[in-house]
A and B are shown apart, each in its own frame.
Chain A
């Protein structure tokens, strides 16, 4: 585990081929879900700060599985009433999980499992949120001072769990 070090800055990560590639992959994942549009910051609006997070994923055998870079918003730079309001999101109760398992056993039903990739990138934002451009991927020229107007939630926003669950709930129903 000590053989790999987590980059301390975008510059350091970008100069490292493996980390650089994971950042490009994450930017592709973000762009394919179309979460933002570059705009000039409207007056009276505030900008949410973001950063990169780097993690090394280990396999069950303890060996390095893959490198992962994730762009996250710094939720603590958000302002209540301006770029977020409600944040509550339900999660399964443990009692429901146990009941689920019990019924499945009694009725001899199979239990299936799946997970949603990049779940929080699918949430629809109700609020008007502006975020700075991702460090290391700022567009050149005139648009360099522009900000990202978020259409979809991203990791780190206070309302992301709620936005995701709202969307999931709609799709399932």
Chain B
């Protein structure tokens, strides 16, 4: 695979079979692409070199929950937000809606 010059944790591979993209966050790996055979081989290669745990379809990565269906994906940080509330003992606090203007640039005075 080739390492991306714009993000060194991203690797890609293009061939006549299709393409494969890999992104790494220390020991957490996400793989996608059109070359399903190649993806299987890559996973096998990784598990031969290291011991891996195949988590199947992507569900949770860096605090983002991912739900995949044939219509698309839904991402949310519900669990992450709940964990933060739990840690700060704010789980029982009352929620309040806070409106924020879009595209506001905050500058130091």
A binds B: yes
A100 and B32 in contact, given A92-B9, A171-B49, A173-B2 (Cβ under 8 angstroms): yes
Q: Are B30 and A112 touching (Cβ within 8 A)?
A: yes
Pick the most buried of A100, A105, A122, A169: most chain B CB atoms within 10 A of its CB: A100
Q: Are A114 and B9 touching (Cβ within 8 A)?
A: no
Closest to A118 in B: B51
Tell yes or no: B57 within 8 A of A by CB: yes
Q: Are B27 and A113 touching (Cβ within 8 A)?
A: no
Q: How far is the CA of A161 from the CA of B9 in the complex (A)?
A: 13
List residues of B (60-76) whose CB comes within 8 Å of A's CBs: 61-62, 64, 66, 68, 72-73, 75
Tell yes or no: A103 within 8 A of B by CB: yes
Tell yes or no: A90 within 8 A of B by CB: yes
Q: Are A116 and B50 touching (Cβ within 8 A)?
A: yes
Q: Which of A94, A112, A119, A161 contacts B43 (CB 8 A)?
A: A112
Q: What residues of A have a CB within 8 angstroms of the CB of B105 in the complex?
A: none
Determine chain B's interface SS by DSSP, over half rule: strand
Q: What residues of A have a CB within 8 angstroms of the CB of B55 in the complex?
A: 113-115
Q: Which of A90, A104, A122, A172 contacts B73 (CB 8 A)?
A: A104
Cross-chain pair count, CB within 8 angstroms: 132
Tell yes or no: A17 within 8 A of B by CB: no
Shortest B92–chain A CB gap in Å is 17
Closest to B72 in A: A105
Residue count of chain B within 8 Å CB distance of chain A: 47
Determine chain A's interface SS by DSSP, over half rule: helix
Q: Which of A93, A109, A172 contacts B33 (CB 8 A)?
A: A109
Q: Which of A96, A103, A111, A165 contacts B58 (CB 8 A)?
A: A111
Q: Are A103 and B2 touching (Cβ within 8 A)?
A: no
A-B contact pairs, 18 of them (CB 8 A): A90-B7, A92-B62, A93-B7, A103-B32, A105-B72, A109-B32, A112-B54, A114-B55, A115-B28, A115-B52, A116-B29, A116-B52, A118-B51, A119-B26, A122-B50, A165-B24, A169-B3, A171-B46
Interface residues of chain B, those whose CB is within 8 Å of chain A, are 1-3, 7-11, 21-34, 36, 39, 43, 45-47, 49-59, 61-62, 64, 66, 68, 72-73, 75
Interface residues of chain A, those whose CB is within 8 Å of chain B, are 89-94, 96-97, 100-101, 103-105, 107, 109-120, 122, 161, 164-165, 168-169, 171-173
Known pairs A100-B30, A111-B57 / 15 extra A-B pairs, C-beta < 8 Å: A90-B9, A109-B34, A111-B31, A111-B66, A114-B47, A114-B54, A114-B55, A115-B28, A165-B26, A168-B50, A171-B45, A172-B1, A172-B11, A172-B22, A172-B24
